[in-house]
Structures are given as C-alpha cells and as structure tokens.
Chains A and B, each alone.
Chain A
Amino acid sequence: MLQPLIHPLFKTRQFEDSLLKLIGNPTPFIDYFRNLWVSKLGSVNGFDAFLQDGIIEKNISASSVISEAKDTTNTSNRYQQAEPATALSGASFIGNVADASQKISAKKGGETELVLYEKVSIGNGSHGNNAWLHELSDPISRATWDNYAMISPQMGESLFGINIYDRRQSDAYEVNVDKPVMKVTANGKTIEIPVLIIPGTHPNVIAIALGYGRQSSQKEKTGEYIGRAAENVGINVYPLTTFDGTSISYASAVTVEKTSKQFPIARTQLHNITEGRPIVRETTLKDFKTNPGKLNEEEREELERYGEHFVPDATMYPTYEYPGLKWGMSIDLNTCIGCSACTIACVAENNIAIVGKKDVARMQDMQWLRIDRYFTGNPENPSVVFQPMLCQQCDNAPCENVCPVAATTHSSEGLNQMIYNRCIGTKYCANNCPYKVRRFNWADFRGADAFPDNQRGIISNATADLDDELTRLVINPDVTVRSRGVMEKCTFCIQRIQEGKLHAKIENRPLKDLEVKTACMQACPTQAIMFGNVNDKTTRISELRLREQKERKYYVLEELHVLSNVNYLVKVRNTDHEVGDIKEEHHS
C-alpha cells in the first residue's frame, strides 16, 4: 500500500497502472489492489479495518497474510539492515601498502600532472542537470556553474604573468570575472579551459573537475532532453582520462599552453584572505592547552568592566528585554568541513531562487547561507578555514535602523524579521549590513510578480526551469516565495520555530531544547551548527556558550556592538605549522 496518496500530476499514469496496462489488464490499479486484498482478507470490512489501522492484527483469521505482515510490522528490523555488510567489514588489504601508495602518488611523467577530481556538488556528472548544485559554490574555489583548471600561484605567474601575492595584480585578477584560458593536452587530446589560481595547489599540478559539459547526443537538444540547467555548463574532461585495460586513471601527464582567450567564471567569493581582520580565529592545540583564555582576551578585558550585564550597562539608552525565548546559534569552525550541505538545505527549506551563471558572476546570487573560505597560515602552503555566514540576527541591527518603511524589525525572541510585503526595495539595509548577508530579488525569479511576461530573456533558463509547473511542487509550502524587488535573508527558519511553538502549545508544555532545528543545523553532517534558546541556561547552546566552549566562543565583528546572536567557536588545529591570518607583509 502506498502512503501518502497524491493526485496524479497533470496527465500522468501511475507506475502500477502502466504495469497492468502492459500485461493487458484493463482494471485500474486501485480496483485491482482492492480486489486482491479483499480476496486475501476475505471481506470488505476486513480491508477497511486494515486501511484504518494500517496493520493487520494477528487475530485476523486469514493466516496466509500473517507471515507476510510480520516483516513489515517489525520496524526495528529495517534499521538493522543499515549496518555494514559483513563482506565489507571483514575486508582486509593484503598487498604492499608502501608500494601501492608510491604507485598512486608517483608523478605521472612529464612536467605537469593533471588530476581529474569530482566536485562535492556535481560528483561524477550525474547531477549535471541540477541547478541547485550548479549554483552551489565549490568549497575551495568558490566558483559556480563551471569547471576550470585549478593551478598554483607559481604556475599562474609563469604561465600567465599573474602574481597573486602582489596586491596590484591580485586586485586586478580578483575583480575581473574573465579568467585566462589555458590549453591542456593529454593523451593526444586537447581542451581549452579557463583557469583559477588557487593557493595551496602543487606547483606542477592542475586539477579539473569531472562531470561537467554534459550534453545530449544532439547538442542543441541538451536543454530539452537533459534539463536546461545542463546547457553550456563547463567542459567535459572525461576524454582526458586513460583506461589501461583494468582501471581508469584520473591522473596523467599533460602539457599546458597559454592562450590569449578569456572566459568568465562566476564566483561567490573573490578575496582569499582575511587581511588581518579578526573574522576567523585559529590557534594551535598546544597554545590552546597552555592558555585557553588567550583567544578572546581582548573582548574579555573590554567587557570585564561591565560584568555580566554589559548590554544594558554599556549604553546610555534603554535596552530591550527578551523574556521567554531568545534564539541563538553557535557555529563551530573546528568541525565545519565546508561541505555546503547547510547551504543546499537552506535553499530547499526557504525556497531560495537560483539565478544562473550570468547573475552569479555579477554577484546577484541569492543564497542566504554561504560558506566563506579563507586561506590562512603560510601563504606558500596555506590552510583553509570555512566559516558559514548567515544573518547574525543582531539585537542592535544596523539594517533595521535604516529601513525607511520599517520593513525589518526586531521580534521579542531576538529575531531580525523581514516583512516582505512591506519592503519597497531600497537596498539600504543590505548596504548597511556589516556581514553582507541580505539578498535582493533582482528579477522575478519565482514568477511571483504582478507584472506578466517579465521573465523571458531576463532570468536564466535554469531559473525558469525551476519555475515550471512540476518543479514548483518542490517549493516548501510553509515559506512564502518572494516577489521581485524585495529584500530577503535568513530568518533562523522562522517557520520551523513557529511550528515547534505550536506543537508545544497544543500539548500545553514548554518548548523543549533541540525541538526546533534550523534546516542548516539539521543538514550539517558534523554538527557544527547548534541552535536553541539562549535564555534557558540548560539548553545545549547555553551549555556551549557558557561552559563547554567558553574559551573558544567569539562573535564576528563584535567591536561594532551590533550584538549578534550567532557566535563562532575558534578553530583549534593540532599542528606545528603556522596558523592565523595571512598578513600583508607576506605578500612581498
């Protein structure tokens, strides 16, 4: 039996109906199914009881069904099946490890080595028609909608004359969307592909993502057959792989050549380093153990003068009380791996529009939650810090003050609310947001506008594809879609908060900790995001902030006194290498 039942979509036929049709049975599946079970259970009443209960009780006389029902009623069995199969857990490697690893890491001859890899979003290309994943920035390169050759700064300098450690050249390279194109020849095959200079890449390695350049056998029908998101996205580099008869090799020696061409790459983050700003904080395990309080020493000294209640004490103005619930979030930079699952969860939960390559290239992208990536440590061999950045729900929100129509105000639960139908779209709030997390509806991305026929040729084909009648069904009914010209931003999944509160109210009990989870928190595989009520000192988030991770807690741009409600936990590295911001001096 199928649950939940939905009405057929448009003029479609249920799968089972098709099967019946194939075997030449004209009965509709619902009648066929009913007849089958009525005959098995012996009566219409029995069938109705089965429908109502959802299970078949043992005392039902039809003994033939009991054994069948047994498996389905015992739900715990199903979960046990998820355990690793014995064949896998028992597997052991019996070869020479050193030899094998040497083989794998050996240089594949020639000056330059090509590495073909799968991106976290597109994978081997099976997601090549998924617009959400195309628009998801690569965790390291922060590029969308394309594959490209990642090359080292050394190669960038020798091949294209771009020294990204020189401020003047890096400025020009950074703000320009058009990137140089390189000719890559491997196994007698040549492709031309744009390059991105990524610090930390091995000087003699270029890396290109697989799975792009997907197209139908009739190239011009790609959009129609595969999906318009797949049209003209990247270059297929599978031809550069080699097959030695037993396995496919994804690395090979190549020759690279400079071309005079340029190609636009749409990136959501252009600048690589923090410029010495205390935005992401790192330390080594050794330092942390010796002096855990050193990390937020400056803030502590500053705030000590005011004690526990520095918010009301440090201002001449009256302050607002937040009785009852007050929402807060804690993000652990240690555990964030930059996988971007939170971003996609947020896109799915909040009906966020995708905008297509052209608009990402001019930074009109819409994602509410982004993962900032900074290179830190030694500039020649940098480390990477990922920092999920979303609306900080500041209590002294700069965005709220500047809205002329009071379309964004503060709730009694400390949320920075956005009232879409009051918004007139001055973009002043986005300008005044120090975190730049507000997103504007530059066009009618969702077809939610009163102006008819104002999307054709304006929004990307992929965006339009997501607006067709069928795809629109993925839109979360709990969240309104935004029309053109209004500002939007992270709401801490207000719809989930409301749902949680309503449940609690119906059951006449206080809201439990972790009962409300934001979409990003739910999706995070490493539990880097914690969300909860900070007024209650027993919740997980209070536990983190006040006790467990007290020394690691800091707020981004705390010096602006915007009183953000999202704190970050300092990244602690177990390493002897240099950690921390790349400073200007290193550039010279």
Chain B
Amino acid sequence: MKKKFVVGSFDDEKVLFPAIKNVRRAGYKIHDVYTPFPIHGLDHAMGLRETSLHTVGFIFGITGTAIAVGGMGWIFTVDWPLNIGGKPHFPLPAFIPITFELTVLLSAVGMMMTFCWLCKMMPGVKKHHFNLRSTDDLMTMVIECTPKSNTAEIESFLQNNGAIDINVQEAEPGWWFGRYDREQKLYQTEEVGY
C-alpha cells in the first residue's frame, strides 16, 4: 500500500544532526534517513534501539561449538570407534581446530543470513529509493505523512532546517521482487522495510 512521504535531503552531516533533533521535537515521524556511508550517532539521534545482531552471532557460534564437539565426540566414541595410530577415542586437543572453525563458520554465516533477513536483502529484492543521490553524497531524510499531515508545512520546516531538494512522494514503503532495469513487480509484501 502506497504512502505519502515528504523527502528532504542534506549535503552535510553537521546540518543533518540538528535537523533530526528539531524534526523529532516537532513531533514528525521520521520514516528513515538514507545515508551514503555510516554516520556514527545517527541511530541514537533518531532514537533507534541498539541492534542485537551480535547476540545472534553468539548463539550461532555456540551452536557451532556444540555441533563440533558433540559430533566428533559421538562419531569417535559411539558411532565408529577406531584405533587410529593408537590415539585415544576422545582426543580433545585434536578436536580444537575443527571446533574453532565451526564456531566461526556458523557464527559468521548465521549472522550474515540474519542480517539479510532483518534488512530484507537478497538478490532480486527491490525497494523504493527516495533519492538516488542518497548512495552518493546526500543524506535523505524521509518523513512519513499521516492523512492529517500538512505536507507544505513539513516541506517548509525541512527547508528551514537546511534541507535541499525537498519533495513529496507517494511510495511503497516495503520491498518486492523485481529488477532495477524494469518497473514491474514480481512479488510484493506489505511489510515495512525495517
């Protein structure tokens, strides 16, 4: 379902930070701020909560450790005990390398997949881009309008706070499957993009 947004772009992060403060103080709902590079402190300024992606990494990592030690231990002691070079059936030091590697592997792969899942990112996913220069040199602030919003008022508010290139867009906030060289949508979800 399409929604209406007021989009204002900034060319300097020094102007962006006070603008965000003012927009939030004024009670407008910031849909998102799109930036070409990570700006430290922006998430706090916007009032976003901390991500818990690292916790996911830890859980996947521990799973890897358990699979490795448990799996190798079970194989060598229960499923298929063999006399290999006179070594004991549960040679813990020899298990360390693989245990470590599996921990890292599961943690990294799990985190990456979780990241893609949370951000709704994968090949073929398409989203609406409010300003194409937001991956180049502009920081684009997008304010979500309610039916009661006065767009002109928001536009002038943004202008007063240093935004350039201000406009109003009707856009799909979610994601869909599609190609960037074509317009058609192959699949669409109602979910909001973050």
Contact = CB atoms under 8 A, between A and B. Distances in A.
A535 interface: no
B82 interface: yes
B88 A409 contact: no
A339 interface: no
A410 B84 contact: yes
Interface in A283-338: 317-320
B85 A401 contact: yes
Interface string A370-411: 000000000000000000000000011111110100100111
Contacts of B83: 320, 409-412
B87 interface: yes
B77 to A, nearest CB: 12
A309 to B, nearest CB: 15
B86 A409 contact: no
Interface in B89-128: none
Contact of B86 (A403, A406, A410, A412): A410
A409 B84 contact: yes
Interface residues of A, number: 18
Contacts of B84: 400-401, 403, 406, 409-410
A400 B87 CA distance: 10
Interface in B46-98: 82-88
B82 A395 contact: no
Most chain-A Cβ atoms within 10 A of its Cβ — which of B83, B86, B87, B88?
B86
Contacts of B82: 406, 409-410
Nearest to A320: B83
Contacts of B85: 396-401, 410
A566 B58 CA distance: 52
Contacts of B88: 317-318
A424 to B, nearest CB: 16
B152 to A, nearest CB: 71
A410 B87 CA distance: 10
B73 to A, nearest CB: 15
Nearest to A416: B85
Contacts of B87: 317, 401
A409 B81 CA distance: 11
A368 to B, nearest CB: 20
A226 interface: no
A565 to B, nearest CB: 12
A410 B86 CA distance: 8
Nearest to A412: B83
Nearest to B94: A401
Contacts of A409: 82-84
A345 interface: no
A401 B84 CA distance: 6
Interface of B: 82-88
30 contacts: A317-B86, A317-B87, A317-B88, A318-B88, A319-B86, A320-B83, A320-B86, A395-B86, A396-B85, A397-B85, A397-B86, A398-B85, A399-B85, A400-B84, A400-B85, A401-B84, A401-B85, A401-B87, A403-B84, A406-B82, A406-B84, A409-B84, A410-B82, A410-B83, A410-B84, A410-B85, A410-B86, A411-B83, A412-B83, A563-B86
**Which 3 interchain pairs have the tightest Cβ spacing?**
A400-B85, A401-B85, A410-B83
Given A401-B87, A410-B83, 18 more contacts: A317-B87, A317-B88, A318-B88, A319-B86, A320-B83, A320-B86, A396-B85, A396-B86, A401-B84, A401-B85, A406-B82, A406-B84, A409-B82, A410-B82, A410-B84, A410-B85, A412-B83, A563-B86
